[in-house]
A and B are shown apart, each in its own frame.
Chain A
């Protein structure tokens, strides 16, 4: 594979989409469908979480099955911050990222010494350990989770209304995507993509491979933490379920559906999966069957994901 390169029309399309999304809350309100603002916010947050995994998996080539641990850690960090009286997002969100990033640094420092299936297993093991830790932590609500006393404020403005939180999530996602897009073409991005292709060769060119992998893993963890903190605000709860391995699996499925190693892979995958869930679950509780068929179709007919149908990650 070559280095990631955005499709030519990608920027204008993304810009147009961003404008459309800015107009979404008032439009939904005018139509009397306010309920969907919350759903759209959920999409944005999962798009961010899946994008953070795509950094680790798609660009860094690290098949982590424990990404939910950082997602959940961010949610708990936000909840704990708010219960401690820190409800300013400009403070609480970076703190949540810091906590999740530090956890990822720790997990990565140990896991990244292994390869292949061992790496998958050890990241899974760490995430499950974190899950059971939070479930048994009485002070943090045990398996009921930790409720938030309200929503954060952003630069003093309340995020209490659903549209305010929507805009906050949209801002976070947009910033993250711009950052990841720049990263992909910068020295660091090229380095981790080359490591994904051939780590021995990179080592033989003098690159301290472990260090680059670790930083990539921790960055992905921090971004997942941001998504978790936003989700806790949306649902009003930091739930241990966020750390469960099925959650890691969901994020993985999103990235695979969307397109591993494509800038918008995580976004596309989150939108496709959650929309499908929303629509299909209205018809039948057996909606995962539909999801299974979709996954099968993607693996067979578009193995690089939906985003690959529009852009190219290269050769």
Chain B
């Protein structure tokens, strides 16, 4: 049995009259690519928000690498090794791609304190060299000096990934990395994620079922805030409750 990296226990959250998450249990093992799927409004993004620390649950807990992170803030979870990318690209649009990633590198604990008031960042070659490495990983080397706001949609998604990678996470939370992409862009993103999955554990939220079935080692299905199935692609496909939820489409 593989090592458990992320363990979510009975996570619950209520928004007014809506039970957004109801006692969700989920385990992500080290090294796997775990996909979280579900129809619109099932609570997938809400779940990611609670795992990443953007929101606090009413009850339940989040264990990561054996530590209880439930009460930790987002930046503390990032420091612990959990990085997320956003469903809608969340970049510094006025900065170059390189500066975006350099900020991510600079924010890492092992990159040293950012309470430095005198030495110009421009002189810190190491920071930018490392940032270039991450841009290369996602195939953006040729775009490194381009302002993020002028990048194509697919390139912005890739930059988003490079920034998450630059925090050197143990676990990458990807919230719909294919959202809004055309078939070609999606294809490139699938290849990229498949490559990344060899180096880092990934929890992937995605609508694109083809992508999910190609990429995922295991799949969990969320429906109306409840986790109704977890297992391999075949097991999930065969699950009657999952079939009912999706009324057969895609599956």
Contacts and interface: CB of A to CB of B under 8 A. Distances in A.
A186 B90 contact: no
Given A2-B94, A197-B94, A206-B107, 12 more contacts: A3-B99, A183-B117, A183-B118, A186-B116, A186-B121, A187-B121, A194-B95, A200-B90, A201-B91, A203-B75, A206-B79, A207-B107
Contacts of A187: 106, 113-116, 119, 121
A202 interface: yes
A190 B84 CA distance: 22
Interface string B81-113: 001101000111011000100011011110001
Interface in B122-171: 122, 147, 163, 167
7 contacts: A186-B118, A187-B113, A190-B103, A190-B121, A205-B103, A205-B163, A206-B167
B176 to A, nearest CB: 16
A5 to B, nearest CB: 10
A157 interface: no
Nearest to B83: A204
A212 B115 CA distance: 8
Contacts of A204: 52, 54, 74-75, 78, 83-84, 86, 90
B114 A191 contact: yes
A202 B108 CA distance: 11
A191 B102 CA distance: 11
Contact of A190 (B76, B106, B109): B106
Contact of B94 (A189, A215, A314): A314
Contact of A188 (B76, B115, B147): B115
A212 B114 contact: yes
Interface residues of A, number: 30
A179 B118 CA distance: 7
- Max chain B C-beta neighbours (<10 A), residue from A187, A204, A208: A204
A209 B113 CA distance: 13
State which size class the interface on B falls in: 35 or more
B120 interface: yes
Contacts of A1: 94
A198 interface: yes
Contacts of A315: 94, 147
State the majority secondary structure of interface residues on A: helix
B75 A206 contact: yes
A181 to B, nearest CB: 10
Contact of B92 (A198, A203, A206): A198
B95 A186 contact: no
A115 interface: no
Interface string B46-88: 0000001010000000000000000001111011000110100
A294 B244 CA distance: 67
Given A197-B94, A206-B107, A185 B121 contact: yes
Interface in A152-201: 179, 182-183, 185-191, 194, 197-198, 200-201
B124 to A, nearest CB: 8
A125 to B, nearest CB: 26
Contact of A207 (B54, B90, B114): B114
A206 B79 CA distance: 6
Interface in B232-247: none
A191 B92 contact: no
Contact of A206 (B99, B109, B117, B120): B109
Nearest to A2: B94
Contacts of B109: 206
B116 A206 contact: no
B101 to A, nearest CB: 10
A214 to B, nearest CB: 11
Nearest to B96: A2
